[in-house]
Each structure stands twice: as structure tokens, then as C-alpha cells.
Chains A and B, each alone.
Chain A
Amino acid sequence: TVGCVVVDREGHTSCATSTGGITAKMPGRVGDTPIVGAGGFADDQVGAVSTTGHGEAIMKACLARHITSVMGTGESVKSSIQNGLAHMESRIKGFGGAIAVSCKGEVGTHFSTPRMTWAYIQAGKLHYGIHPNQHVTEDL
């Protein structure tokens, strides 16, 4: 699965997520990716989220909507993602990851799987990582 979240100079947000699904899936099976509030969510009043992970668990947890709901309470973006993933793990035993951006430009990435590749560009710097707690920064 791949995904992207964006906020522009005016605070307009968007998200997109795309996937080939799971190996050996049943033909016709659709996962979380195309479901609003599961595979992605965006609302200029809060921010945008794209998720990845166990599709059925993400759908049950409405993970993207959960994360934006927590963001809406004033929690940091990263903390909101951690909250959503912890909820999904404790309630459904599901694992995954998410990227998010607030309408104010605050970025968050987190995952409960062994690894997740992510990258973002903001203020002339490229940030990226793949391992837990890895955060590399380069000047553009």
C-alpha cells in the first residue's frame, strides 16, 4: 500500500491511498484502502490521514477517522496516530501505520509493524525513515 497527505499554503488538505491488496486474497475482496475514514480521511478543519496495515482491522477501527478525531481534540499529530494504532491493537489485535498532517502543517508518522517507509518535504528539508524511531533529515 502507498499513500500521501498534503497541506498547501492556504491550509487546504488532501489525502490519497492506493493498494494491490494482499497476496492470495479472495477475488473480489476489498480492504480498507478505498473506504472513507478507514484508508484515508481529509477535512480542512482538522487535517488529512492515509493508513496502511491489516485492512480488515483498519476498517473495523475506522482508523483514519479515529486519528483525525483525536487530532481534533488538540493532541499532537504523532500522538493521535499512536492513539489510533494502540486502539486498533488493543481492541482488534490489528497492526499498521499511518501518516498525517494537520491543517496547520504539523506532520506525524508512526507504525506498529516492524517497518514502514515514509518521507516528507517541508521548509526546504527532506525527512525520511523506515525503521522504528529512525528520522533522517537532508537539505533539499
Chain B
Amino acid sequence: VEPVVVVHGGAWAVPEELWDESLQGVKAAARRGYGVLTAGGSSVDAAEASVVCLEDNPVFDAGTGSVLTFDEQVEMDAIIIDGTTMEAGAVGAIRNVLNPVKVARLVMEKTDHIMLVGDGANKFAAAHGVQEVDPEVLITSLARQTLAKYKKYTSTVYHLFNKTEKPETSGHE
């Protein structure tokens, strides 16, 4: 089989000011994973390496650069699957780690479970040597601006239309 590494940086209405950085980011991530593969790494090693590269790039909504919850926190989700064994590992709503996909891989390889969430995921990560980082490290000015705009816009809408229900979230994964 001709080996291949494919990556994506998210499907959404990517604004023009992010087009170039986003393309450079996915190209770099594809190169990273392909390099791991050609150096003898497994397909899991390559997939993890590419996603780590994307998580570390603040232009993408994952790892550093993640968007904010309504409470101005970063909560991240990740999964990794080995197609040979169909083993899977995942984390949900994990906080304060640079690379959630690395914790997902630890879940796959070190537990009998598929997914750990919230505090449990963070405790598991810490127990396996994953260092917690200051939450500020993960938060970009763009993420703060986007949340501020969201809150301002939705409060205006609710005032104008006298809505009383909680506003819907915007954007998507």
C-alpha cells in the first residue's frame, strides 16, 4: 500500500485572514506525520504526531487556540483509534493540558476504558506524567474576542426580542 497521511484543520467558514496560516498549518502537520511514518513509526504514531502539530498551532480550535466555554474556560475533547486492533482512547472536557490527543492515547494503551472525562481525565493525565499548564497558555486573544463578541451580540438579541431562554452556542467543532 502507498502510505498516506491526511489531515484537516476543521470545517467552518474560515475567515480570509486565517486562510494562509491555516493552510501552512495543515501542510506542516501532514509533513510531521509523514516524517514519523517514513522514519519507521506506526500509523498511530503518525496520526498522533500530526494532531499534536495541529494542537500546538494557535490558529486551530484544539489544544492551544481552543475556543472558550461560556465560563471562559478551555475544555477539550480528543480521540485516537488503532484500526488494526480497533482499540480506542478518548478524553472529554479535559483542561489545562497542551495535547489532549496524547492523553487519549494513554487512555487507549494504559486502561481498559475508552473515554475519561473532566476531573477524572485530568487526574489520569497527571498520574501518567502529563504536566498541567497554566490555563492562560491555551487561551488566545482571538478566543477571548470571539467569546466577548458572542456575549455582547446575544445579550443584544435577547434584549431586542425579549427572550428569556439561555442563548444558543455559536460555531461548531
Contacts and interface: CB of A to CB of B under 8 A. Distances in A.
A31 B93 contact: no
A115 B10 CA distance: 8
Interface in A4-23: 4-23
Given A10-B1, A34-B91, A34-B104, A119 B80 contact: no
B27 A119 contact: yes
Interface in B109-145: 114-115, 117-118, 143
A11 to B, nearest CB: 5
Nearest to A56: B172
- The majority secondary structure among interface residues of chain B is mixed
Nearest to B64: A20
A91 B75 CA distance: 29
B19 to A, nearest CB: 6
A115 B3 contact: no
A7 B2 CA distance: 8
A96 B8 contact: no
A16 B171 CA distance: 21
Nearest to A19: B173
B77 A21 contact: yes
B170 A14 contact: no
Contacts of A114: 12-14
B30 A30 contact: no
B3 A122 contact: yes
Choose among B22, B99, B114 the residue with the greatest number of A CB atoms under 10 Å from its CB: B22
Contacts of A126: 27, 30-31
A105 to B, nearest CB: 5
A3 B172 CA distance: 14
A81 to B, nearest CB: 11
5 A-B pairs closest in CB distance: A20-B66, A97-B11, A42-B83, A13-B83, A34-B90
Given A53-B172, A115-B12, 10 more contacts: A4-B33, A6-B3, A6-B44, A13-B43, A14-B44, A14-B83, A20-B63, A20-B143, A36-B90, A58-B173
30 contacts: A1-B60, A4-B8, A7-B4, A8-B42, A16-B81, A18-B101, A19-B66, A19-B76, A20-B61, A20-B63, A21-B61, A22-B67, A24-B70, A24-B147, A26-B70, A27-B71, A27-B73, A34-B92, A34-B115, A42-B83, A52-B173, A96-B11, A99-B7, A103-B1, A105-B1, A109-B6, A109-B8, A116-B11, A118-B26, A128-B23
